[in-house]
Amino acid sequence: MDEWLWASAADLGRGIEVGNIDPVDLTETYLTAISAHEFTDLIYARTTEDRAQTEAKAASERAKLGLRRSPLDGVPISWKDLYDTAGVGTEAGSQLLAGRVPDRDASVIQAATDAGLICLGKTHMTELAFSGLGLNPMTASPPCVNDLEAVSGGSSSGAATSVAFGLAAAGIGSDTGGSVRAPAAWNDLVGLKTAPGRLSLDGVVPLCARFDTVGPLCRTVEDAALLLAAMEGGKAASLDGATLDGTRLAILKTSAFDNLREGPGSAFDSSVQNLKAAGAVVEEIELACVSEAMALAGVLFAPEAYGTWKTEIEANPDAMYPLVLARFRGGASISAADYVAAWQRLDRLRAAYANETSGYDAVILPSVPILPPKQSAVTEDDDLFVSENLLTLQNTRIGNLMGLAGLTLPTGVPSCGILFQGPSEERLLRIGAAVEAALA
């Protein structure tokens, strides 16, 4: 049964469908692995054993009666600790929210539960989701699967590592500036950032509501498609016949290749050659609208984050890691007029981006321009924490600023991903399925 821990969510669902896997046995296999793993306390903030066992028994009965609710009915997954769970602590990685217990599930958890997915527990994250490194000295910092001394990427650090270490079939994270895609890339997973508004934020602890999005971290593109469908109560995109032949891809050179280090750069170049060999048409583009949008980031993210949490932060600032506290307080000096003007400017830049990329099926770039730094290095050097954090989110932030969906895929080189972005999740998933085959 240990092989179940490394199977895709879709394959587990197929095993349940044909009767080879009982959801009760599957859930117990995960719960046993979680209880025995050396990094459990660094990955899971809390487990929901009773809930998981109850949901597994119900899924088992449905399977026996031929009444499965979805292809993932009976599959156990984890949830980032900013999704409300009824009667279970939801603290968003912050001591500011210690003891917070919601009385109902977030809408996406309710939808996933209605689809038969099983909740294993809540995973650690960086404080209030405002850091890309995955370092959280105030609660826990999960290790990267490829380097146990390195950070795992954030803020969905536990979501990524719960899957990478075989402690969940998939993890649900959130993405405001790269918090699904960065940890997915560093832990060799598929990560889907949905476009703003695609999935409900009801019952999700906010960071920047205008940028916050929900997204899965998982083993395959098929898993991402099925999880998206489960969380919105819809039908998964068809991946049948997906091909790269004739697909038009644009390499975004503006901003995305700044400070690109050798490992991620080489992995990206090799992947692009494979995409071309599979029939993709690949061109390089420069977009002034991207560099202009990137210059607005400091006027947009921090003010909204600080405005959302100012009361709680200033009532107890010592409860926060100083470097994350400084990120929030960085929004205090931005005037309301500058914030409004920046959003108006960004809306025009988004329109320009859409116009200039309309002839391509997707825009591609390295998911993260650096490899995960050592935890000790960014803990001991404040300046390094700041610079590495900004670099971690450099490329992913482009998609958030432009209001896009994004899909990161493993390149086959450890902790190096390739990122596809565009306005349509369905289109990205179909491209992603073909890319998976090309890079395999």
User: Do residues 277 and 228 share a domain?
Assistant: no
Question: Which of 232, 260, 276 is the last residue before a domain boundary?
Answer: 232
In degrees, to the nearest 5, what angle opens at C-alpha 286 toward C-alphas 283 and 291?
Answer: 145
Residue 243 lies in a domain: no
* Inside any domain, residue 305: no
Is 307 part of any domain? no
Q: Does residue 276 sit in the same domain as residue 224?
A: no
pLDDT at 1 (0 to 100): 80
How many degrees, rounded to 5, is the angle at CA 337 between CA 302 and CA 349? 70
What is the 8-class DSSP label of residue 402?
T
pLDDT higher than 90, residue 345: yes
**How many independent structural domains does the chain possess?**
2
The DSSP line for 95-115 is GGGTT---SS--HHHHHHHHT
**What's the residue count for the chain?**
440
Kindly name the residue from 8, 80, 193, 255 that is annotated as catalytic.
80
Distance (Å, whole) CA 307 – CA 211: 14
Which residue in the list 155, 156, 157, 162 is annotated as catalytic? 155
Strands, DSSP E only, in 280-353?
A: 281-285
Residue 419's DSSP bridge partners are: 365, 408
Q: Tell me whether residue 316 is in a domain.
A: no
Last residue of a domain, one of 206, 232, 258: 232
Q: 80 catalytic, yes or no?
A: yes
Tell the residue number behind the tokens 């050179």, with chain if given.
253
| pLDDT (tens digit per residue) in 369-389 | 999 999 999 999 999 999 999
Rounded mean pLDDT, 390-416: 98
Mean pLDDT for the stretch of residues 67-80 = 98
Catalytic residue among 179, 255, 367, 415: 179
For residues 197 and 277, state if they share a domain.
no
Cβ atoms of residues 396 and 178 within 8 Å: yes
**With bands split at pLDDT 50, 70 and 90, how would you rate the model's confidence at 305?**
very high
Judgement on whether residues 169 and 252 belong to the same structural domain of the protein: no
Cα distance between residue 151 and residue 394, in whole Å: 17
Check whether residue 210 and residue 264 sit in a common domain: no
Compute the distance between CA of residue 164 and CA of residue 372 in angstroms, rounded to an integer.
15
Same domain, 21 and 169: yes
Shared-domain flag, residues 155 and 14: yes
Question: 301 in a domain, yes or no?
Answer: no
Please report whether residue 240 resides in a domain: no
Same domain assignment for residues 73 and 137 = yes
Mean pLDDT within 350-371: 98
What are the structure tokens assigned to 427, written together?
């289109």
pLDDT in tens, 156-194: 999 999 999 999 999 999 999 999 999 999 999 999 999
Fill in the DSSP letter of residue 321: -
- pTM, 2 dp: 0.98
Q: What is the DSSP letter of 72?
A: T
Q: Grade residue 334 by pLDDT with cuts at 50, 70 and 90.
A: very high
155 is catalytic: yes
- 216 shares a domain with 88: yes
- Average pLDDT of the chain is 98
- What's the domain range around 282? 248-296+322-439
pLDDT computed for residue 438 by the predictor: 97
Residues 170 and 279 in one domain: no
Using alpha carbons, list the distances in angstroms from residue 336 to 58, 304, 305, 324, 327: 51, 10, 14, 22, 18
Contact call for residues 91 and 100 (beta carbons, < 8 A) = yes
Check residue 301 and give its pLDDT. Answer: 98
Residue after which a domain boundary falls, among 232, 257, 274: 232
* pLDDT at residue 243, as a whole number: 98
Mean pLDDT to the nearest integer, 301-322: 98
212 found inside a domain: yes
pLDDT (tens digit per residue) in 85-136:
999 999 999 999 999 999 999 999 999 999 999 999 999 999 999 999 999 9
225: domain CATH number is 3.90.1300.10
Tokens 């997204």, located at residue = 215
Residue 205 has pLDDT above 90, yes or no: yes
For the record, the structure tokens of 179 come out as: 């918090």
* Residue 312 within a domain: no
Question: Which residue is associated with the tokens 């292809």?
Answer: 71
Q: Are residues 161 and 215 in the same domain?
A: yes
Based on the domain organization, do 193 and 253 belong to the same domain?
no
**Within the chain, what is the greatest distance between any pair of CA atoms?**
61
